[in-house]
């Protein structure tokens, strides 16, 4: 991953999403990473109002031009120097090109592969909206 001279937030929790939005609001470039493939689940104990707020945070973070959201991503290495911190990220592939995916689900219908349980290895990632293939 190349340097963006911005900030890295680890964990797309509600707090991480809010921090990313606040920093981006003040003009800072933010990379927000999360190890899960889907980050659209609010905490279970949240009320309906809290769940709506979580959905708002996700939507605003996903489409903000200064926020880069990387799911299926973990920190591989941290290296501190006098110029700052260099972070090496490891992102597991989605096997779909998110920038080309229009979420039409045609790939799901056309996929010839079936798992032993009869399901297809494709699934929809809600945020950012794209399809993904589970090769695990």
Burial of 132 (0-12, 13-18, 19+ CB in 10 A): buried
Give the architecture-level CATH label for domain 1-92: 3-Layer(bba) Sandwich (3.50)
Per-residue pLDDT of the chain (136 residues), as tens digits, is: 445 578 999 998 889 999 999 999 999 999 999 988 777 677 778 888 888 888 888 889 888 999 998 888 999 999 998 888 889 999 887 777 777 777 787 877 777 777 777 777 666 666 566 666 666 5
Cα–Cα distance measured from residue 73 to residue 130, given in angstroms and rounded to the nearest whole number: 16
Task: Measure CA of the first residue to CA of the last residue in the chain; give whole Å.
Answer: 24
pLDDT score recorded for residue 4: 57
pTM value is 0.73
Cα–Cα distance measured from residue 97 to residue 132, given in angstroms and rounded to the nearest whole number: 9
Q: Tokens standing for 49? A: 């109002």
- As beta bridge partners, residue 130 has 125
Cα–Cα distance measured from residue 43 to residue 32, given in angstroms and rounded to the nearest whole number: 18
Domain ranges of the chain: 1-92, 93-136
């Amino acid at each position: 991953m190349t340097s963006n001279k911005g900030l890295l937030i680890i964990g797309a929790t509600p707090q991480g999403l809010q921090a990313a939005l606040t920093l981006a609001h003040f003009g800072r470039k933010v990379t927000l990473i999360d190890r899960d493939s889907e980050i659209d689940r609010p905490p279970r104990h949240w009320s309906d109002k809290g769940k709506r707020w979580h959905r708002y945070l996700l939507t605003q973070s996903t489409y903000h031009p200064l926020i880069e959201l990387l799911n299926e991503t973990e920190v591989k290495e941290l290296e501190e120097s006098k110029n700052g911190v260099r972070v090496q990220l490891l992102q597991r592939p989605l096997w779909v090109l998110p920038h080309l995916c229009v979420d039409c689900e045609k790939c799901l219908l056309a996929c010839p592969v079936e798992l032993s349980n009869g399901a297809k290895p494709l699934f929809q990632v809600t945020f950012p909206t794209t399809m993904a293939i589970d090769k695990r």
